A and B are shown apart, each in its own frame.
Chain A
């Protein structure tokens, strides 16, 4: 029985019913120190029933597709809606569940059927072997993961959306240890994309593997990052985190509404800030864009059927729009985006990021470097922490280089920096051009009660910030 037929079998009194089926199929292989560490696969398949009765939404999830079980889930959702109605925070109407029909297929050309664990194990073995350049490189890891997520959303208003997404990525890491300490270099945690097995380019990743091991070794001999206030040049692979934590999360409308106060937290952004707040310098342009071909969180529509469109969140440094669903938009009377997303079939959709990208500017890397008298160039996220209002942050990186008189000079280890969100973005001095621009994606954005983890995308050029407090490791 297809999903539309299943919907038609549900017999309950409700103003609106939707079914959202999600099937995730994934496979992985990982190798450490030239030993196969794990091979596996996952099938996760289930169904979320959503009902609206007198404006009260309620959900029931089941991994059974038997009509009797789906009917039972619908009845449970109905009963919950009726029980919760007198306590409902907001009573919605059909406007938050628009009729939508469409399909989406990610651009991957080689899907999970091309996952051949034997061949991939050989590849990953060669990558860890490429990291074996010195006895000090004691841990050498390589992994590959591919996931295929097929979702189908139908509703009593005639909505019918099928989306099929293939994502994959390679992760690499090298840990070097000596009497001088331990240093680790990684690749790939932020590079998930809507790409299949065609991602694999052995020569490219051999080169990356060798570079990681070499840098981990060199970092053992590096000086500690100095503690002082100076210019900070961030590579795209650190900008992704900076955008995620200090732009993406504070702009989520459910945080601004207070729904997340008990867990992920609140936001320093107030409803009255939209259209007014100078979030950053005039060089700052940030978009919500689930239409970027191949980026990690591209899609046709979110999980309640709102069509995905590209929108400016911040334009010329001024805050324009938040990351909020039709429900949050209605509650706040503010514009938002198509971002009501769920981890999978077993969670109700909430306000999330999708692709949140910092648009490229006009400065070349050399121009930015040349403008710095004394500063630090940092790459690759190592540590992150930010407060529940998304103000005071402290981030650490794996790799840094001192910049003196416009040139990269000494290698530095254990680099960290800290700041406060809006002042930090207002110290954005130069934005890299398209030659410095990279597209990335994270798979582990956590939020919500019950907890949900979801994949998001970020893209950014390298960026230069002035007068930032940087510091190193040690006591």
Chain B
């Protein structure tokens, strides 16, 4: 058990709007952690900060106990993978080649794919159920298929930390379940995963811990049962919910308050 990624009191202001306000959080090896909150709460921005893609105004992000902005880019990209919410695919490469791009952090400019690289690519394709898509033009995929391919690209990099921005938002029920199980499986041993989710039932069911944010501020953190309390949901989402299920928890919104 070691802290892989943490933010210490990070803030970000853009165009006089406070997007992230003094947030401290951490990700420990073996954990699947969910980041939840309403639209515009700053989830994606916070994920960008944690991935070191955007520099914080104040505070620090530590990856493996080192300032993320001081780690050489290539080394950082071997440790941490980030999956965009609906990332673009600009050229009609095959799905297989897109997934293979995930190995770039491990290769120098001229290096060819080794057996080890190919094994990682094959694993990623199989794990995300992309086998049937592998020779397809990546620009013709549906939203859900593309999300799976981009997740496969990230998995092929074999990172220790995976940051995924709403990976199940565009998926059908079966692939939602499959993806959550995959993330659960990934986040074991030395690895950890932070995932932005809108589906609170999935967050409740699969995540070890949750962070609830609203208007750029951390509202609650801890066990799903504590974070997703009636009071918190009322305060942050402004809705009344029914909860239940025991081992298979579900949260259904009933009406606006």
Is the pairing of A and B real?
Answer: no
